[in-house]
Structure 1
Amino acid sequence: MTDVPLRMLGWAVHVTACGLLAIAVVGMLREDRAGVAVGGVLLGLLYAVGPAVQGRAVVAPVWLGLVTGGWVVLAVAAPAFVWVAFPLLYAYLSVLPLWGAMFGVAVLTSAAIVAAAWHAGELTTPLLVGPGVAAVVVTLLALACKALRAEADRE
């Protein structure tokens, strides 16, 4: 019974990632930046492989590294891609052990703040606080899901 809401939450995260990528890709096409748009589509295709590799001890971290690398390139190329970091936080918490996930979340959140500030030309309070709050919320949500999944497995 607990499995259905957890699966729905996972799919909600994936839909959010796809939606953010689609918004960024369309924005790049409107700006006549087709190369960056193609990069966004490729990142989306790579991200879509995620559910198939989750649970595979060796493949999943490699996938996460590739997705993160693609995100970094796109986040530097265009500000619209910076916000794709937030669904990736959930992936870090799903794929990596807790210590690695916490480190990854901290690094990815910091990178999102730096990239957003760089594109804006300055570091503002919303650019600092927003990603930090989002990282905390995603982390708590993922940890709650892991706890619910562990409880459901015990039943």
Structure 2
Amino acid sequence: MMDIPLRLVRWAVHVTACGLLLFAVVSVLREGRAAEALGGVLLGLLYAAGPAVEGRPPLARVWLGLVTAGWLVLAAAAPPFVWVVFPLLFAYPHVLPLWAAMFGVTVLTSATIAASAWHAGGLSLPVLLGPGGAAVVVTLLALACRALRAESRVRP
């Protein structure tokens, strides 16, 4: 019974990732930036491979590293890709041990703030609070899902 809410959350994260990527790709295409759009499509394909590596920690960690690297390149290249970090933040507690996930979320949040500030031409309160607040909410949601998953394994 616990697996239904977990599946719904997972699907919500995937739909969010697809929506954010689609928005970013369309935005850069409108600006005539075909290379960034192609990069966004490739990142989407790589992200879509995530479920195939689920349950295989070494492969899942490699997948997470590749998706993160792709996101970093695109976030530096074009502002719309910065916001694709939110579903990625959710993946960290799902794939990594808790200590590594929290470290990764902190680094990703810092990179998001830096990329946003760079694209905006400077640091501002919204640039600081937006990604920081979102990281807290996404992390709490991911940790709640982790706890529900653990509890569902214990209960018959």
Instruction: Please indicate the TM-score interval, normalised by the length of the shorter structure.
Output: over 0.9
Cα distance in 1 between the residues matched to 2:14 and 2:8 = 10
Percent identity over the alignment is: 72
Structure 2 equivalent of residue 142 of structure 1: 142
Q: 1:75 deviation in Å?
A: 0.3
Residue 122 of structure 1 aligns to a residue whose secondary structure is coil
Structure 2 equivalent of residue 118 of structure 1: 118
Cα distance in 1 between the residues matched to 2:59 and 2:5 = 26
Structure 1 equivalent of residue 89 of structure 2: 89
Cα distance in 2 between the residues matched to 1:20 and 1:65 = 19
Cα distance in 1 between the residues matched to 2:73 and 2:125 = 25
Cα distance in 2 between the residues matched to 1:123 and 1:129 = 10
Q: 1:42 deviation in Å?
A: 0.2
Q: 1:57 deviation in Å?
A: 1.6
1:96-152, CA deviations, whole angstroms, 9 ceiling, x for partnerless residues?
000000000000000000000000001010110111111111111111111111111
Structure 2 counterpart of 1:90, one-letter code: F
Aligned residues: 155
Structure 1 equivalent of residue 152 of structure 2: 152
Structure 1 equivalent of residue 63 of structure 2: 63
Scaled by the length of structure 2, the TM-score of the pair is 0.98
Runs of 4+ in 1 over 6 A off after TM superposition: none
Cα distance in 2 between the residues matched to 1:31 and 1:56 = 39
Q: 1:67 deviation in Å?
A: 0.4
Residue 133 of structure 2 aligns to a residue whose secondary structure is helix
Q: 1:9 deviation in Å?
A: 0.2
Structure 2 counterpart of 1:52, one-letter code: A
Structure 2 equivalent of residue 75 of structure 1: 75
Cα distance in 1 between the residues matched to 2:45 and 2:17 = 11
* Runs of 5+ consecutive residues of structure 2 not aligned to the other structure: none
Structure 2 equivalent of residue 35 of structure 1: 35
Structure 1 counterpart of 2:100, one-letter code: G
Structure 2 equivalent of residue 46 of structure 1: 46
